[in-house]
């Protein structure tokens, strides 16, 4: 079985530009490269899991998402970092575009994307981590059976800890600090 780091995209790995699919606006956040390098060298698979409600809301099409994945790979490849998986949920129950205007188990805070990735990549969820910048990320990781880290960069605006799954194991400033914590425990 493999161990993995599940990564939220916007506000965790890259600068959060709302509903962005323009590759020219995608930039890595400080600490991302060094943190991902350390985690990959330690044997973790790197799996992106991202809600992409812009599809359901009609801001962009699902066909535009591969360009986002390709830009991420392009930014990471010169640093010898490889994303082992890229999972996204285009759905939102308040969307305006059918068939994406639905609720589903893949949309974080539910763990569907993590569970699918675990099946696809033979991942031991108990040996894995979810890192994100909002409590929905934390909840998805905890519901999947992972340990979770919240990057507190101002992305979380609600701070609703209304169930036991919304409590991160650790809170930090960036992916480098998250990696250092993971590798120290």
For residues 30 and 173, is the Cβ–Cβ distance under 8 A? no
CA 155 to chain centre: 13
For residues 64 and 54, is the Cβ–Cβ distance under 8 A? no
Give burial (CB, 10 Å; 0-12/13-18/19+) of 98.
Answer: exposed
**Residue 162 annotated among the catalytic residues of the structure:** no
For residues 150 and 138, is the Cβ–Cβ distance under 8 A? yes
Tell me how far CA of residue 45 lies from CA of 12, 41, 150, 151, 166, in angstroms. 17, 10, 19, 19, 24
**Active-site choice (8, 133, 137, 174):** 8
| Sheet of 147-151, strands arranged across | 85-89, 45-51, 4-7, 129-132, 147-151, 170-172
Of residues 156, 150, 125, the one with CA closest to residue 47: 125
Which tokens in the block code for residue 89?
């949920």
**Residue 10 annotated among the catalytic residues of the structure:** yes
Residues tagged active-site:
8, 10
């Amino acid at each position: 079985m493999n161990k993995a780091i599940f990564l939220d995209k916007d506000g965790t790995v890259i600068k959060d530009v709302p509903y962005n699919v323009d590759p020219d606006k995608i930039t890595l956040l400080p600490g991302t490269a060094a943190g991902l390098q350390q985690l990959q060298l330690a044997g973790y698979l790197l799996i992106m899991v991202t809600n992409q409600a812009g599809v359901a809301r009609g801001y962009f099409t699902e066909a535009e998402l591969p360009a986002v994945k390709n830009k991420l790979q392009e930014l990471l490849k010169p640093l010898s970092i490889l994303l082992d998986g890229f999972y996204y949920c285009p759905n939102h129950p308040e969307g305006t575009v059918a068939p994406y205007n639905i609720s589903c188990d893949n949309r974080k805070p539910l763990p569907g994307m993590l569970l699918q990735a675990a099946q696809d990549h033979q991942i031991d969820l108990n040996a894995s981590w979810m890192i994100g910048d909002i409590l929905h990320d934390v909840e998805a990781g905890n519901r999947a059976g992972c340990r979770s880290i919240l990057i507190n960069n101002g992305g979380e605006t609600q701070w609703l800890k209304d169930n036991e799954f919304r409590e991160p194991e650790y809170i930090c400033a960036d992916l480098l600090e998250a990696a250092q914590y993971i590798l120290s425990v």
